[in-house]
DNA sequence: TTTAAGATTTAGACTATACTAAATTTTGTG
DNA sequence: CACAAAATTTAGTATAGTCTAAATCTTAAA
């Protein structure tokens, strides 16, 4: 906190609307890909037009939630990231809760969580986390941020990048939210914690062939990039 | 459906915002008291100023959700009431769910439900109702509207009006949402399904004395009016 | 190194929901 | 039954978040 706060720019609870939370979450998630976060990408992600994004970026900058360089891109400030992580925590807790407590399947939970994440109280969040035994990962294998805004350790390679030495690997995470693809993956048994064998990988962008309980399956390279695996230990 | 629909006034899903739902619910609940529903009462209930209510009443009338007579009052149309009942159903299912599944106490659930009622999907509503065994009453004893918009049978007198013949009665419903009063009532054991004995009632607006498991308690007349009881059968 | 294409921002407008101050209608009292 | 008090509506304004069209900046290619 080296920057002086003035009356005009003070971030209050009221300023943090669901829309603001969505922008922060989008910036957070686009940043994960490594690229600088630009207006166009945010517009696509949030389903609004670029001028709308520009207007909101100014607001967020005024609230000290992002650092905004016109024409160049944005990044979250410390407090912006805290809020993004809170929302992500809500999202992933809700997803897991719907699966564990109410019998939802993993392809159904995203849309529901996308809404509810903005509206559960601290108390409800705590009860849910408690019920679930303070879990570290959601049904997709995504890490659930801790209450203090730190992330649980996650080390994994994507299935696409993993050197294909006919090795057995464990699926730890599936970074996809498309219900149809998720249903397909469930069907073939490719879900977090399952074990698969990498059989062959075409060079460049060709498909990757894996084996799941005796069945061989060719996976699109793009899809393989969304699947995180780790080497079996022991 | 005798009134012709025109393009301008068509009610769409999008028109039904959380704010609209709150107005419909408020009209529904104020109507229960018998009085015609006026602008001032709505303003108090919804925590907005009267001109704000007037503006919204015009909108609701345009959407065919209410019948609005300027200066005289409003009532819900059939479709307005359907929406109000859906929201009430959500509210009460959520309250009961929080108590049954997540260990909330009855004084904690109202505020949480007040928000979430607007945001749960049909699917989540169904799973919750299912989990609870399609209940007919929430933790306050309030009836939960059915999916088709009908209300389960509820016959009861208020504790204030019940003829005090030293009779044993069963508490069926507590129409109060104030957390402090609800905690007090829990403390003395006055909750839905408990049995109490009416010992004495002062005339007019004096207190009513009741007995709960050997303890005599004087209850404010106004509070007694919020407590619904029925005669013990058998 | 100029310039055209692409990305971004500015300008101006719209909708939903809220407000205050002023005008109007209803109601209750004498 | 007249008129003051109370309730309600009208008029005009504000804010959050969105849009389209036009202007401007950045970048990549000739």
Query: Tokens at residue A49, please?
Result: 């037009």
Which has more pLDDT, B51 or A167?
B51
Q: Does A234 touch chain B (CB under 8 A)?
A: no
Q: Which residues does residue A217 pair with via DSSP β-bridges, in sequence order?
A: A210
Q: What is the pLDDT of residue A166?
A: 60
Q: Does A108 touch chain B (CB under 8 A)?
A: yes
Q: Which of A98, A108, A127 is facing B102, going by the closest CB pair?
A: A127
Average pLDDT, whole number, for chain B?
89
Q: Does A19 touch chain B (CB under 8 A)?
A: no
Q: Does A128 touch chain B (CB under 8 A)?
A: yes
Q: Which of residues 148-167 of A touch strand D (CB under 7 A)?
A: none
Q: Which of B102, B103, B115 is facing A119, going by the closest CB pair?
A: B115
Q: What is the pLDDT of residues A92-103, one digit of tens each?
A: 999 999 999 999
Size of interface A-B (CB pairs under 8 A): 37
Domain chopping of chain A, boundaries = 1-152, 157-231
Q: Is the pLDDT of residue B3 over 70?
A: no
Cβ neighbors of A2 (< 8 A, separation 6 or more) are none
Q: What is the pLDDT of residue A178?
A: 85
Task: Examine domains B1-152 and B157-231 and report if their fold is the same.
Answer: no
Query: How many angstroms separate the CA of B78 from the C1' of C16?
Result: 24
Q: What is the pLDDT of residues B131-190, one digit of tens each?
A: 999 999 988 888 999 999 999 877 778 888 776 666 788 888 888 888 889 888 888 888
Verify if strand C has an atom below 7 Å from the CB of A53: yes
**Given pLDDT bands bounded at 50, 70 and 90, which one contains residue A163?**
low
Query: How many angstroms separate the CA of B15 from the C1' of C15?
Result: 12
Greatest C-alpha distance within chain B: 65
Verify if strand D has an atom below 7 Å from the CB of B54: yes
What is the arithmetic mean of pLDDT over A173-179? Answer: 85
Closest nt to residue B51, judged CA to C1': D9
User: Quick one: closest CA in A to B130, which residue?
Assistant: A102
CATH level 2 (architecture), domain A157-231:
Roll (2.30)
What is the arithmetic mean of pLDDT over A41-70? Answer: 98
Check B112 against A103: CB less than 8 A apart: no
pTM for the whole structure: 0.85
**Given pLDDT bands bounded at 50, 70 and 90, which one contains residue B4?**
very low
φ, ψ of residue B76 in degrees (nearest 5) = -75, 145
Select the CATH number that applies to the domain covering B1-152 from these four: 3.10.20.30, 1.10.10.10, 3.40.190.10, 1.10.490.20. Answer: 1.10.10.10
Q: Is the pLDDT of residue B82 over 70?
A: yes
Contact A217, A207 (CB under 8 A): no
For B131-169, b where at least 16 C-beta lie within 10 A, e where not — what string?
bbeebebbbbbbbbbeeeeeeeeeebeebbebebeeeeb
Verify if strand D has an atom below 7 Å from the CB of B232: no
Q: What is the pLDDT of residues A180-215, one digit of tens each?
A: 898 888 888 888 888 998 887 777 778 888 899 888
Q: Which of A98, A116, A127 is facing B103, going by the closest CB pair?
A: A127
Query: Mind giving me the DSSP string for chain A?
Result: --SPP-TTT---GGG--HHHHHHHHHHHHHHTTSSPB-HHHHHHHHTS-HHHHHHHHHHHHHTTSEEEETTTEEEE-HHHHHHHHHHHHHHHHHHHHHHHHH---TTTHHHHHHHHTTT--HHHHHHHHHHTTS-SB-TTSPBPPPTTS-------EETTTS--SS-EEEEEEE----HHHHHHHHHHT--TT-EEEEEEE-STT--EEEEETTEEEEE-HHHHTTEEEEEPP-
| Cα three-residue angle B149-B150-B156, rounded to 5 degrees | 135
ipTM comes to 0.84
Q: What is the pLDDT of residue B8?
A: 46
């Amino acid at each position: 906190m080296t920057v002086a706060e003035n009356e005009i720019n003070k971030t209050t609870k009221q300023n943090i609307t669901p829309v603001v939370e969505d922008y922060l979450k989008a910036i957070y998630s686009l940043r994960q890909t490594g690229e600088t976060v630009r207006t166009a990408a945010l517009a696509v992600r949030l389903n609004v037009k670029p001028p709308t994004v520009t207007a909101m970026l100014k607001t967020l900058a005024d609230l000290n939630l992002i650092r905004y360089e016109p024409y160049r891109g944005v990044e979250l400030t410390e407090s912006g990231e805290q809020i993004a992580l809170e929302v992500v925590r809500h999202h992933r807790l809700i997803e897991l809760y719907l699966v564990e407590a109410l019998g939802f399947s993993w392809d159904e939970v995203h849309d529901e969580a996308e809404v509810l994440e903005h509206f559960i109280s601290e108390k409800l969040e705590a009860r849910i986390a408690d019920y679930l035994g303070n879990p570290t990962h959601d049904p997709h294998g995504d890490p659930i941020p801790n209450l203090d805004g730190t992330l649980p350790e996650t080390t994994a390679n994507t299935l696409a990048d993993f050197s294909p030495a006919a090795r057995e690997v464990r699926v730890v995470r599936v970074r996809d939210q498309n219900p149809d693809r998720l249903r397909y993956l469930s069907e073939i048994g490719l879900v977090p914690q399952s074990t698969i064998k990498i059989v062959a990988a075409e060079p460049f962008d060709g498909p990757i062939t894996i084996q799941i309980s005796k069945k061989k399956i060719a996976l699109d390279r793009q899809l393989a990039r969304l699947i995180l695996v780790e080497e079996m230990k022991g």
